[in-house]
Amino acid sequence: METDLWNTFDLEGISTHAFGAIAAKLNLADVPYELSILACNDARIAVLNAEFRDKPTPTNVLSWPGFDLSPANTGDRPKPPPLPEHGDPYVNLGDIAIAYETCMQEADKASLEPRHHITHLLIHGILHLLGYDHVVDADAQRMETLEIDLLSSLGIGNPYKDV
């Protein structure tokens, strides 16, 4: 937690709940996976966005996968994450940063419950860690459909319905 703005939300609980839905949907091995979430503000994420994507502006969520799980062919399902090696207790999938102000502004503009939007952004970020992307249309459609299904399984409506 880099900013107290996030204190009103249980990000650990939201992310654990989101990952549980992802693990069930994707039939991930029953392995203790780990990921790090940086709960920051727009100023911090703008620095990260400039450093890693050459875009010096705030964004809602960024992901840094620990593994390249991207599929061999566009539109295919990504590779599964590896299992722990050499007695490691868990597999670290990577890192996510999420920006408070951008997240809240987007939720307000789209008339979304902030907790639901946070859940969506964390699911989006975790899917990036798992090799999903949205650069090419076929991959974007696969990822968006999966996000909608996952959110529905958590009782959250389709955030793309009016986009």
For 66, residues 6+ apart whose C-beta sits below 8 A from its C-beta are 91, 92, 93, 94, 95, 129
Q: What is the pLDDT of residues 93-133, one digit of tens each?
A: 999 999 999 999 999 999 999 999 999 999 999 999 999 99
29-56 mean pLDDT: 94
Buried b (16+ CB within 10 A) or exposed e, 1-27: eeeebbeebeeeebbeebbebbbeebe
Domain contains 98: yes
SS3 28: coil
Domain contains 10: yes
Instruction: Provide the number of structural domains found in the chain.
Output: 1
CATH of the domain at 16: 3.40.390.30
Domain contains 65: yes
- For residues 98 and 135, the model is more confident at 98
Q: Is the pLDDT of residue 163 over 60?
A: no
Q: What is the mean pLDDT of the chain?
A: 93
> 48 is in which domain, residue-wise?
4-153
Domain contains 19: yes
Q: Is the pLDDT of residue 143 over 70?
A: yes
